Structure 1
Amino acid sequence: MRRTSAALTSLLVLGGALSACSGDDAGGAEAVAKQLAGALVAAATPQSGDASKAPDPLASVPFTGADSATVTKAYADIVDDMDGVVPTVAVGEVDSSADKPTATLRWSWPVVDGADPWAYETTVALSHQGDKWSVGWAPDVVAPDLAEGETLDAVTQPTDRGDVTGAGGTVLVTERAVVRVGIDRSKVDAAAAPASAKALARLVGVDVKPYVKAVSGAGPRAFVEAITYRAGEEPAGFADALGAIAGATTVDAELALAPSRDFAAPILGRVGPVTAEMVEKHPDTYRSGDVAGLSGLQARYDEQLRGSVGRVVYVVPAPDSKDPGADKREVYRHDATPGQPLAITLDERLQTLAEQVLAKTRPAAALVALRPSDGAILAAANDAATGGQNYATFGQFAPGSTFKIVTSLALLRAGLTPESPVECTPTVSVNGKQFKNYSDYPSSALGTIPLREAVAQSCNTALIGQRDRLGKGDLASAAATLGLGVDHDLGFPSFFGEVPAPASETEAAASLIGQGKVLASPMAMATVIASVQAGTTVVPRLVDQVDVSVPAEAEPLAPAEADQLRAILRQVVTEGSGRGLADVPGPPVIAKTGTAEYADGDTVRTHAWMVAAQGDLAVAVYVETGESGSQTAGPLLEAFLRGAR
């Protein structure tokens, strides 16, 4: 702990015999006491920028027998470890007529937000010569019975963070052992600290410049974390390399973690020390050193999960105390309140399976699986190529021919049946824009064919040729019935898709085959086929405590419509582009493949999609770049369906 100047060894003696004070003298005594109170608050308030250049609030206070610089240092030594908590100091009774004039200071420290403050009174000696008043100084002006060299230390008592549970109450995220790696400034001097920080940053692979800046700007006893490893997952040879860096050390701790580093990471989010930006933006919620949710569900539900920290204020003996056995003494305590759990619907086995299925994909890919009977999202996986982004529930991509499920419903409502004849031509032109089928479209399925076969074989031209049957808003209405295109807050990052009104006839034609300005997430497309399977509009849900309901805009799906759609999508598996799923064990599979072109610079590439439902399981797979839905997304979906049984 810091050493207080020897000049402040005892309460300063007030000089001169005191006579009775006039009313003006009493006013002067109160004024100087208030001046001291205000300066004590200002001096305890953390400064932004270079604190060494900030004015000294105590410099203008007249002290008896001591200079303000000495008092400033003594006060800073006492309160520097109060964790940034700023007291209020009010002046109580002022007795200016006593033989030894005094003023009462009423201190209140908001040690824990929302809890009773640490409140007490201290007494400051006053002195005057003529009409000039000054204040005495001693450590017990700051806190009762505070002796020379003693300091205050506010120690955060961490709360137990609430678990995140999944399907069946399985614990997904809980406190797990970790190793925090950083620089202990008390073990390396200021001159050598930047070099140590640079060496450690390079060892653990974090950005060098920001970390060096953080270490250089830290206090002489700070621990500046660089990285946190799960216990037992430190790199080979790490301990020896760390030992060669002055001041580098590890601290054993616990942190809220999922079963593995990548498990549903973009959705669950991350927990860690709060950032400086968080402290600055929410000073009443966070203090430096707090642990909080930094992203995903952990951030959105941080208040619920983190509970409230506790703090204990200690009086810490002077380092050179004559009593070597002196212990710190507790003067205030507020115990921590544990966080509350967050229940979500992810199934640990299916989420792990989804991530394993995507593990070998090279392009960015995502897989969403949900339960049609209640909309529960059982898996929402993103592969490594997504770069930590949540494509699964928040991606915004053209859905291609998987959107023909929506188009089929719109055409059924317009009077067609699965047996209605449609013309599947090699190409079709709309206002000079030529549309064609995919490159290996079977020639045997050209000509006049039933609507069900056009969907099964994914004939673009046949559906575009029926565009005049649909009125304004018909396509968007059919999408809403199947759970797509109506946005609402489900308590997690979600994109339900968009079916905007087309700006031209060409754009309207593109919309029918899931291109143009039509967008969807994998979650939205899983919802579409789930709604067909369930025979009603499905609303996906992930967070149990968030109530979900079918949007009022969604026209109910009629039983006959659901039966017809299931029959059409079953033919995709038995005779069409989804034949790879025909021998998957279990109940009948319904499915739809899809591709959608997108520009990658000067190159046109293809998104690959496939959606399917089997029993009470609906799945969507999206691959950013692929050959086709059946060739690229199909094997991934098949592997998931087989593994899910």
Structure 2
Amino acid sequence: MVDRRTEARRLTWRRALGPTALAVLALTLTACSDDAPSPDGAAADLATAISDGDFEGIAFTQANLDAAAHRDAVLEPLAETDHTVTVAKVDVATEGENKGKQATATLAYTWNVTDTTPWTYETTVDLVLQDSPDGGAEQWAVAWEPDVLVPDLKDGDRLAVTRVRAERAQILGADGGPIVEPRPVYRIGVDKMNLDPARQDAVARQVGAAVGIDVEAYAQKVAGAGAKAFVEAIVVRTDDTAGIDVDAVRAIDGASVVDGELDLAPTRTFARAILGRVGDATAEAVEESEGQVVAGDTIGLSGLQRQYDVQLRGTPGITVSVVADGSAGEDTGEDLDGDGQPDPVEDVKDVFAVDPVAGVPLATTLRTDMQVVAESVLSGVPSASAIVAIEPSTGNVLAAASGPGGDGTSTATTGKFAPGSTFKVASALAMLRSGITPDTVVSCTPDITVDGRTFQNVPGFPATAIGEVPFRTAFANSCNTAMIAQRDAVSQQALHDAAADLGLGVEADLGAPGYFGSVPATAEGTEHAASLIGQGKVEASPLGMATLAASVAKGERVSPVLVRPEVTPAAAETPTPSALTADEAATLRSLMRSVVTDGSAKLLAGLPGEVGAKTGTAQYGDGNQAHAWMIAIQGDLAVAVFVETGDGGSVTAGPLLKAFLDAPNTGE
């Protein structure tokens, strides 16, 4: 039995060949002669033509056929997609009246629409052996049909390719819950549908001024929007409107305040410099992605959102459909294309689909409650500031807060500052290794001169600690001169090694950008003297000093961790093993406890537990400005507090650290 498709093709051939050609064909109803051309070459040429769009030299049975235009119109959505078209097989008619004169070529298509799953299919096309138009030898001509390109394609059909966006994954906190969640917001703007066009410009300017944005730019945005558009001016949290008087905006005749939800962190400032933000893909990002990102995609633009964008954004899906415009003969009742006419119904048939793969959540070690407290404590500090809290037993960074004075940078994790006397914890370790004990008597003089440079103690240094005192007393009160006096007993290399044993200057798999500090291994004279009190060329971040404190608390070097990515990164260069011993760590904890009980951090004495601390002040600039530091340990918690410009560790950093440890669910 001959199926309808075959019969339809025969009719097409008869019409294309015409009566004369059929008569000639009737006279040659014998087996194909030995010198007849093979259809294989014609099939291969057709496959190449469909692949690259150049049909020059391809013969067709139909007159005036523009196969190239048809091909381009149908396959336009796949124009930039890598693909191949090859000949799977060619079957020549071996019996009947068309023996040797007709053939069917099977074409194999592969479209690499995704990196992992290609769209593959086969079509068939009929070939007819006919006379050459110029009277030359016979040639195989293509009986072109729409379904040569895609199975079951009909006249007027086209392809549509839809990219299906994957669900972006969340960044998780220490408890495994998402840091960013849907939270209530106010969407403030102008609703043009319900506003007299004559008043739209004036209302737009009033709203722009009320919410503090560029009035002129917003007025132009409103003017250029559609007649029924809601033109958003700003989105604010319902519990933190960033100083915007929402009720005053509501009072503007024509303004619109709409309740909504938006994926947001717990607070407006929550770890902003670390987490980063997401937004529309930039042209640069699209170009650099090599097809992974397209215009309109939402991607990470900064921070962890950018660093782990591939993991978080997932893999988009794709749907390839055959669309017949207006085939239903009805309209949708909507005018989405703006031509003033109802849009036609489209008969859409999906022919290939790959489901999107949702992104993989990114696990961090941040405790949201602790981070919120830390940022609240820093909210009123005018200069750059930071609080970093580490859990010594695990190395988990529980909080890494940067104050508003840092202009959006992560002061907590990437700042580079002289640590001042907080570094004396490392100096003390080097001195313990040189033979000093907490009870060794050292000389704490008002000043000391090294190679012509005079070093002094901080202003207000207690007179009771001046003179020949136990090393414990000198450490507790942060005597600069006593530390510098040991410069001949403690080499710069020994100082460098002691700091490294406590994690300062040692790279770690933090999972995020971080600066771990720098302590020169060589220094002489005044530079070596300055190093002993955490100045000169010694640098640290708040993260680095929190790591140092955590190592003392744990009794071994701690490697801080802030992010635990789904894919483990390549291991960094293995650092030299720490030589810190349990006895050394115990002695350092005892010395830090003395700072609280008898020294410069007495304001922490009322906190529960065996709190140990070290204050720090480091002059910078012209020498009249100072960094203020304090580090502390309390149970399984190590904290570093930093203020770029302050009056000293005890006066400026101390109250901030106390407020942090005093907060519920923070200290013991």
What is the match of residue 526 of structure 1?
546
Q: Distance in 1 between matches of 2:547 and 2:361?
A: 27
Contact 1:87 1:107 in 2 (8 A): no
- Residue 253 to residue 34, structure 1, CA distance change in 2 (3 Å): farther
Cα distance in 2 between the residues matched to 1:379 and 1:435: 35
SS at match of 2:488: helix
Contact 2:127 2:140 in 1 (8 A): no
- Written as runs of structure 1 = structure 2, the 5 A alignment for 1:494-533 is 494-533=514-553
- Give the Cα separation in 2 of the matches to 1:60 and 1:403: 81
Q: Residue 582 of structure 2: which of 538, 559, 577 is its match? A: 559
Q: Look up the match of 2:440.
A: 420
Distance 1:563 1:27, change over 3 A: closer
Moved more, 466-475 or 169-178: 169-178
Distance 1:567 1:174 in 2: 44
RMSD, aligned CA:
4.6
2:152 is equivalent to residue 129 of structure 1: no
Q: Does 1:108 align with 2:131?
A: no
> 1:95 deviation in Å?
7.8
Deviates more, 1:303-312 or 1:388-397: 303-312
Q: Would the aligned equivalents of 1:606 and 1:625 in 2 still touch at CA under 8 Å? A: yes
Q: CA deviation at 1:294?
A: 3.4
Question: CA–CA distance in 2 between the matches of 1:59 and 1:394?
Answer: 62
- 1:240 Cα deviation after fit: 12
2:508 corresponds in structure 1 to 488
State the Cα distance separating 1:15 from its structure 2 match: 7.0
1:398 aligns to what? 418
Which residue of structure 2 lines up, in the alignment, with residue 389 of structure 1? 409
The answer to whether residue 592 in structure 2 is matched with residue 569 in structure 1 is yes
Kindly provide the amino acid, as one letter, of the partner of residue 299 in structure 1: R
> What do residues 506-544 of structure 1 show as CA deviations (whole Å, max 9, x unaligned)?
221111111122111111101111222222222222234
Whether contact under 8 Å (2:508, 2:560) holds in the other structure is no
Offset, 1:207? 14
Deviation readout 1:558-614 (Å, 9 max, x if unpaired): 233223212221222223221221223x11321111122333xx6853221111111
Alpha carbons of 1:443 and 1:80: their partners in 2 closer, same or farther (altered >3 Å)? farther
1:587 and 2:609 correspond: yes
Task: Identify the match of residue 304 of structure 1 among 307, 311, 332.
Answer: 311
Cα pair distance change 1:472/1:593, threshold 3 Å: closer
Matches within 5 A, 1:424-443: 424-443=444-463
Cα offset, 1:62, TM superposition: 8.8
Could you tell me whether the CA contact under 8 Å between 2:509 and 2:561 is conserved in 1?
Answer: no
Which amino acid in the other structure matches residue 316 of structure 2?
A: V
Gaps of 5+ in 2: 1-11, 26-34, 93-97, 190-206, 332-344
Match of 1:357 in 2: 377
Change in CA separation of 1:120 and 1:519 when aligned onto 2, cut-off 3 Å: farther
Q: 1:538-553 to 2 correspondence within 5 Å?
A: 538-544=558-564, 553=576
Aligned partner of 2:360 among 340, 346, 353: 340
Q: 2:557 aligns with which of 537, 544, 547?
A: 537
Supply the distance in 1 between the matched residues of 2:233 and 2:145 (Cα, whole angstroms).
43
Question: Deviation of residue 268 (structure 1)?
Answer: 2.3
Using the alignment, how far apart are the partners of 1:536 and 1:307 within structure 2?
39
**Equivalence for 2:193:** none
After TM superposition, give the deviation of residue 261 of structure 1 in Å.
3.7
Partner of 1:637: 657
Deviations 1:93-118, CA, capped at 9 Å, x for gaps: 56899867776543322222212425
Kept in 2, the 8 Å contact 1:406–1:479? The answer is: yes
Paired residue type of 2:583: A
How many Å apart are 1:502 and its aligned residue?
3.0
Asked if 1:170 is matched to 2:177, the reply is yes
Q: Distance between the aligned counterparts of 1:254 and 1:134, measured in 2?
A: 61
Code of the aligned partner of 2:86? V
1:412-450: CA deviation from partner (whole Å, max 9, x where unpaired): 111011122222233322222332222332334322222
Moved more, 101-110 or 327-336: 101-110
* Distance across 2 between alignment mates of 1:516 and 1:78: 71
Shift of 1:468: 0.3
Structure 1 residue corresponding to 2:629, chosen from 594, 605, 609: 609
* Distance of aligned partners of 1:311 and 1:484 in 2 relative to their CA distance in 1, 3 Å threshold: same
Report the identity percentage: 41
Q: What CA distance in whole angstroms lies between the structure 1 residues aligned with 2:38 and 2:215?
A: 62
Match of 1:47 in 2: none
Matched, 1:263 2:283: no
In 1: Cα distance, 2:153 partner to 2:144 partner: 12
Cross-structure match for 1:288: 295
Q: What is residue 54 of structure 1 aligned with on the other side?
A: none
Q: TM-score, normalised by structure 1?
A: 0.77
Segments of structure 1 that go 5 or more residues without pairing to the other structure are 1-10, 41-57, 183-199, 217-222, 245-249
Counterpart-to-counterpart distance in 1, 2:328 and 2:71: 19
Instruction: Identify if the C-alpha distance between structure 1 residues 106 and 573 changes in structure 2 by more than 3 Å, giving closer, same or farther.
Output: same
- Residue 91 of structure 1 aligns to which amino acid in structure 2? T
Matched, 1:479 2:499: yes
The structure with more radius of gyration: 2
Q: What is residue 90 of structure 1 aligned with on the other side?
A: 85
Letter of the structure 2 residue corresponding to residue 425 of structure 1: T
Shift in alpha-carbon separation, 1:100–1:22, aligned structure 2, 3 A: closer
Could you tell me which residue of structure 2 aligns to residue 49 of structure 1? none
Q: Does the CA-based 8 Å contact 2:415-2:541 persist in structure 1? A: yes
Q: Structure 1 stretch 590-599 or stretch 436-445: which is displaced more?
A: 436-445
- In terms of mean alpha carbon deviation, does 58-67 or 265-274 score higher? 58-67
Aligned to 1:378: 398
Q: For 1:242-257, what aligned pairs fall within 5 Å after superposition?
A: 257=264
Q: Structure 1's 280 and 137: CA in aligned 2 closer, same or farther, altered over 3 A?
A: farther
Give the TM-score, by structure 2 length.
0.74
Q: Once the 2 structures are TM-superposed, how far is the Cα of residue 88 of structure 1 from its aligned partner? A: 1.0
Tell me the CA shift for residue 474 of structure 1.
Answer: 0.7
CA distance in 2, matches of 1:229, 1:80: 39
- Displacement of 1:621 in angstroms is 0.9
In 2, the alpha carbon distance for the partners of 1:32 and 1:394 equals 61
CA-to-aligned-CA distance 1:48-75 (integer Å, 9 cap, x gap): xxxxxxxxxx89989976697x955x65
How many Å apart are 1:164 and its aligned residue? 2.8
